[in-house]
Each structure stands twice: as structure tokens, then as C-alpha cells.
């Protein structure tokens, strides 16, 4: 906040004491201190610095001194020149401007000293008749009494010779702070008067830590440690426990040496290849190596030879690499086309060529497999010119014999059960699901009509012993055995050793058929 001086009086008091070649003098200065924003009077102790310049702005300072002042009701009084004399070397007749600084803040603008007593003459000139002069300056040259004043919110810009003043508005356009508000992490602020802003208070040892949207007190938990010293370990020098410390690699190694680990510490050692002890001094590419480049100093490059003609390749001849035509030396031919032969499709004479296995009757071609089409075969086959069939052959139709089949003591059998029948072991097939409800005679006739027979007690016992699960179970199924003219056997329990039971042949019960396959 700027502070401006409202000058009330600038009165010169010249001490008419002559010493040697100069006439020292002082000028009384009085001013009132006010706040340029609030118009409040500023009291208390301050440091005022005064300087005379040869220009209204910028320019060169020709004199300056500082005073500690105490303002009462805003008024301060200073004898300018009491510390640094205002003599003829300063007040030599040129126009000067007084710049006042309060507590380090420069007041603006500078005050013109158009008619302040100056042009102090030397001691010899002072001997002349000066009864009507003050400090050698006539009455006409003195500053007239200051009669002008400035309005509230203005500052004194200059004092005219007739005592009137020039005023100006206080720094228009520089803003007007109306409040200081403490933001995140800060405390203090004010709406009026002098505002103080500081960091928020935290407990001892805490730090201010950003939450991403503000600041909060937090523990200094990075490590909790307190390094009190840094010691140089193996391979390092420097360190210390106070002040600025430096750590670095040792400078005691000889020229060209390196740091080498000896198993327990780092030490200076010669830069040697310990695997061979050799030192490569150059790389040479000889004839027939297929390489070019090399050298004995500086950065060297190695590459394949560039002496081959366009399209050639490097070819090993058994003792050296040479440039050679890119040919298939096994035949020397150049394939110009691929034609799909028997069983294949695709081919071509240019570009990328694809050949596929043709898919025909009985053959299935996959992405990477070729198999038999099970719609025509069960994956077993015999060669047309003869072969040996290993395993069983099941025929569901007619077999046409174009020659002899050597069975080698074996026979062709049909071991498959008819549809609706389940194998219970050996050649016996039992009807999977029994049917209700039939008398003994009707049950036997039903089976004969289906090309099978009513299961006997022996066959029923075999089915029970097989453990094969049949629909509805065997209980209540008729058996082909007759106990008497008016009764027949049926399965009356699940007892595999004694399942038979007798009942009247006219009783309705379940019918289950059996068939024996060869």
C-alpha cells in the first residue's frame, strides 16, 4: 500500500556561518503522513530518506540523507542538510526535485524545488552586502507562502512559485484492494486496516501437505529419520557430519586406471582384459570374408561387402565368401507356374499360389487334415489289391464277393442286437422295454411275430445276473416255461437265483422278448 506525503511547508533556514570556501546550510522540511487509501493519519516511528535529483523522473541523485522520524498526528519535521550539508555544490542554481521515501517505499511524484533558497555562493561572494538577501538569494527568489491544498484522495504533485500547488488523483487504475482473505493453508487476513497473512498452525513436527484440493497438517512420515552424517564407503571419498558435504569417486587412481572389485572392496586397478590379457589394436577385413570396413583408431565400422551386383547373394564356397547369383544350384531351374494334378485343386502361374487336396466321395478335407467320410465308411477299409482286416467287420447290408475270403479258421458273425434290444452278455439280446398287458399265449405270439421268442427262465436269470438295467425291470415279465397246463412261469422277484413264480396262463402280465445273435 502506497503512502503519500502531503507537504505542508518547505521553509529554508540558512545558517549564516561562513567557513573557508563553502557556506553550509539546512532546510526545514515538514509534512503530514496519511494513508492514500483510507485517508487515515499515520503515526509512530518511521525511517524517511530524502534525495535531490536533477530531473522530475529518473535523472541523477545529487544529494541524499536518511532520518528516523516520529509522526504525531501524522506530522513529521526534519532539518534537511543536518547530516549531509546542502552547500553551494548542491544548490548551485539548477532546478532540483526532492524525492521522499518512507520505510523504503518511494513517494510519488517528486517535489519541485523551483524557488527554494539555493545557489549558495562561496565564502568570498558572501562578503558582499547581503542584508536584503537570505543565503545570497534576494527576496524575489524566495518561495512564496504555500497556500494551496489537495482534495481527499489526491496527492501533491508540485508547488508553484506563487504558493499554489498542483494535485493529481491517487494512482488511478492501479486497483483498490478491499479485503485480504486467507486461502487454503493460510490464516489471517482482514477487511480493513493492515492485514496479516501467515501459514496455518500445525502440531510440532507436522508439515503442510496437499490433499489435491487444499492444504492440511500431516505427519512428516517420509522416513522419520534424521541423517546426522554421511560416510564415504568403499570406492568413494568425501562425506561429513556438518555443513555441505561432497561424495565422489576417488581421485587417487593412476592415469587410465579403473575401479575394480576385489571381492571385499573397490580399489584402483589397471584397465586390462583379465580373460586374455590382450589389447585389440585394430580390426582388419580380409579378402573372402564378405566384410568391409575396420580400422586401427577412432570409431570403426564393419558391414557386409557392397561390391555384389544387384540381386546377388553372398555364397560360401568352402573357403571364402563370394558374390553369387541367387540361383537354386541343385537344379538351376526357375519355376514359372504350378498346375494342380489329380486329386488337387488350385495352382497358378503368378503371385502367391495355393494347392488344395480335392474333396471327393468318401473323403473329407479339413484345414490341416484329410479323413474318410463316415457317411460312406466307418473309418475302416481294405486295400483294393488285398490286405488284412484286423478286428471285427459289421455288415448292415449285403456283401458282394468278387473272389475268395480266407477266414483262417474264423467265421463271420453278426453280434449286434436288433433295434429295441439290449445285449446282456454273449449272444443274448433282451428287449429293452417290456410291454403290458398280455396273457401268456398272447405274449408268446407277440414275440414270435417280431422274429424273436418269449424269454425263458434261463435267459431271464442271465439278464438278472448281467446287471444290465432294462426299462421297467423284469418283475412281472412272462417266461416261456410252463409249469402246468393251466399255469406258466413269470418273474416274481429280483432274486437272481430263484426268480420263477407260477400263475394262471390267462392272467394279464408283461411281455418281454429275447433273441440270440450269431
Domain extent for 498:
421-516
Position 265 in a domain: no
Q: What average pLDDT does the segment 252-279 reach?
A: 80
Q: Each residue of 36-57: pLDDT tens digit?
A: 778 888 899 999 999 999 999 9
Position 214 in a domain: no
Nearest to 323 by CA among 342, 338, 340, 308: 308
Q: What average pLDDT does the segment 321-329 reach?
A: 80
- For residues 117 and 135, give the distance between their C-alpha atoms in angstroms, rounded to a whole number: 7
The CATH number given to whatever domain includes residue 472 is 3.10.100.10
The 3-class secondary structure across 92-104, one letter per residue, is: CCCCCEEEEEECC
Position 81 in a domain: yes
Positive or negative torsion for Cα 100, 103, 104, 109? negative
Predicted pLDDT at 122:
37
Judge residue 61's burial from the number of C-beta atoms within 10 Å of its C-beta, 0-12 exposed, 13-18 middle, 19 or more buried. Answer: exposed
Position 138 in a domain: yes
Least confident segment among 59-68, 320-329, 391-400: 391-400
Position 494 in a domain: yes
- For residues 235 and 253, give the distance between their C-alpha atoms in angstroms, rounded to a whole number: 11
Tell whether the model's pLDDT for residue 496 goes beyond 90: no
Least confident segment among 252-256, 273-277, 318-322, 325-329: 273-277
Integer angstrom CA distances of residue 89 from 92, 111, 419:
6, 20, 141
Q: Each residue of 342-354: pLDDT tens digit?
A: 778 888 888 888 8
Length reported for the chain: 518
pLDDT band at 121 (very low <50, low <70, confident <90, very high): very low
Q: Each residue of 407-441: pLDDT tens digit?
A: 665 655 556 889 999 999 889 999 999 999 999 99
Predicted pLDDT at 14:
33
Question: What predicted TM-score, i.e. pTM, was given to this entire model?
Answer: 0.27
Integer angstrom CA distances of residue 262 from 235, 248, 269, 423:
11, 20, 10, 85
Q: What average pLDDT does the segment 490-508 reach?
A: 83
The C-alpha cell of 131 is what? 542584508
Boundary of a domain, candidates 111, 145, 169: 169
For the chain, how many helices (H) and strands (E)?
Answer: 3, 41
Q: Each residue of 155-200: pLDDT tens digit?
A: 777 888 888 888 888 765 455 677 788 788 888 888 777 788 888 8
Position 503 in a domain: yes
Position 230 in a domain: no
Position 412 in a domain: no
Boundary of a domain, candidates 116, 142, 169: 169
E-assigned strands of 439-476? 453-454
Number of domains in the chain: 2
The C-alpha cell of 347 is what? 495352382
- For residues 439 and 406, give the distance between their C-alpha atoms in angstroms, rounded to a whole number: 49
> 213: which DSSP letter?
S
pLDDT band at 228 (very low <50, low <70, confident <90, very high): confident
- For residues 279 and 374, give the distance between their C-alpha atoms in angstroms, rounded to a whole number: 74
Boundary of a domain, candidates 169, 198, 221: 169
Tell whether the model's pLDDT for residue 266 goes beyond 50: yes
Amino acid at each position: 500500500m502506497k503512502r503519500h506525503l502531503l507537504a505542508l511547508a518547505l521553509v529554508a533556514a540558512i545558517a549564516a556561518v561562513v567557513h573557508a570556501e563553502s557556506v553550509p546550510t539546512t532546510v526545514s522540511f515538514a509534512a503530514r503522513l496519511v494513508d492514500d487509501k483510507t485517508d487515515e493519519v499515520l503515526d509512530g516511528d518511521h525511517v524517511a530518506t530524502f534525495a535531490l535529483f536533477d530531473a522530475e523522473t529518473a535523472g541523477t541523485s545529487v544529494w541524499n540523507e536518511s532520518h528516523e522520524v516520529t509522526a504525531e498526528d501524522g506530522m513529521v519535521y526534519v532539518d534537511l542538510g543536518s547530516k549531509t550539508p546542502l552547500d553551494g555544490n548542491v544548490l548551485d542554481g539548477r532546478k532540483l526535485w526532492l524525492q521522499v521515501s518512507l520505510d523504503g517505499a518511494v513517494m510519488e511524484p517528486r517535489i519541485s524545488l523551483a524557488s527554494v533558497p539555493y545557489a549558495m555562493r562561496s565564502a568570498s561572494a558572501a562578503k558582499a552586502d547581503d542584508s536584503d538577501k537570505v543565503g545570497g538569494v534576494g527576496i524575489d527568489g524566495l518561495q512564496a507562502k504555500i497556500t494551496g491544498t489537495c482534495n481527499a484522495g489526491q496527492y501533491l504533485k508540485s508547488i508553484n512559485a506563487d504558493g499554489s500547488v498542483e494535485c493529481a488523483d491517487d494512482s488511478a487504475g492501479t486497483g483498490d484492494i478491499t479485503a485480504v482473505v486467507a486461502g487454503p493453508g493460510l490464516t489471517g487476513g482482514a477487511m480493513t486496516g493492515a492485514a496479516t497473512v501467515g501459514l496455518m498452525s500445525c502440531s510440532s513436527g507436522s508439515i503442510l501437505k496437499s490433499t489435491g484440493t487444499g492444504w492440511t497438517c500431516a505427519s512428516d512420515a517420509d522416513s522419520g529419520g534424521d541423517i546426522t552424517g554421511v560416510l564415504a564407503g568403499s570406492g568413494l571419498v568425501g562425506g561429513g557430519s556438518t555443513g555441505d558435504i561432497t561424495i565422489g569417486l576417488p581421485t587417487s587412481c593412476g592415469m587410465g586406471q579403473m575401479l575394480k572389485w576385489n571381492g571385499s572392496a573397490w580399489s584402483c586397478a589397471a584397465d586390462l582384459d583379465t580373460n586374455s590379457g590382450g589389447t585389440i589394436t585394430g580390426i582388419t577385413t580380409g579378402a573372402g570374408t564378405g566384410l568391409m570396413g575396420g580400422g586401427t583408431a577412432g570409431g570403426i565400422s564393419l558391414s557386409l561387402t557392397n561390391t555384389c551386383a544387384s540381386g546377388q547373394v553372398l555364397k560360401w564356397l568352402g573357403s571364402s565368401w563370394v558374390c553369387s547369383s541367387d540361383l537354386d544350384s541343385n537344379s538351376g531351374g526357375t519355376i514359372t507356374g504350378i498346375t494342380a494334378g489329380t486329386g488337387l485343386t488350385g495352382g497358378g502361374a503368378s503371385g502367391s499360389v495355393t494347392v488344395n487336396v480335392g474333396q471327393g466321395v468318401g473323403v473329407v478335407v479339413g484345414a490341416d487334415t484329410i479323413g474318410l467320410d463316415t457317411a460312406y465308411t466307418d473309418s475302416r477299409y481294405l486295400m483294393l489289391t488285398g490286405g488284412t482286416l484286423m478286428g471285427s467287420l459289421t455288415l448292415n447290408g449285403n456283401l458282394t464277393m468278387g473272389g475268395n475270403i480266407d477266414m483262417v479258421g474264423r467265421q463271420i458273425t453278426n453280434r449286434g442286437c436288433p433295434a429295441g434290444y439290449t445285449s446282456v452278455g454273449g449272444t443274448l439280446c433282451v428287449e429293452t422295454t417290456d410291454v403290458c398287458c398280455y396273457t401268456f399265449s398272447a405274449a408268446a405270439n407277440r414275440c414270435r411275430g417280431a422274429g424273436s421268442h418269449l424269454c425263458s427262465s434261463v435267459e431271464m436269470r442271465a439278464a438278472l445276473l448281467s446287471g444290465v438295467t432294462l426299462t421297467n425291470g423284469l418283475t412281472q415279465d412272462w417266461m416261456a416255461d410252463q409249469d402246468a397246463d393251466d399255469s406258466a412261469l413269470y418273474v416274481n422277484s429280483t432274486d437272481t437265483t430263484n426268480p420263477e413264480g407260477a400263475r394262471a396262463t390267462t392272467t394279464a402280465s408283461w411281455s418281454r422278448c429275447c433273441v440270440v445273435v450269431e
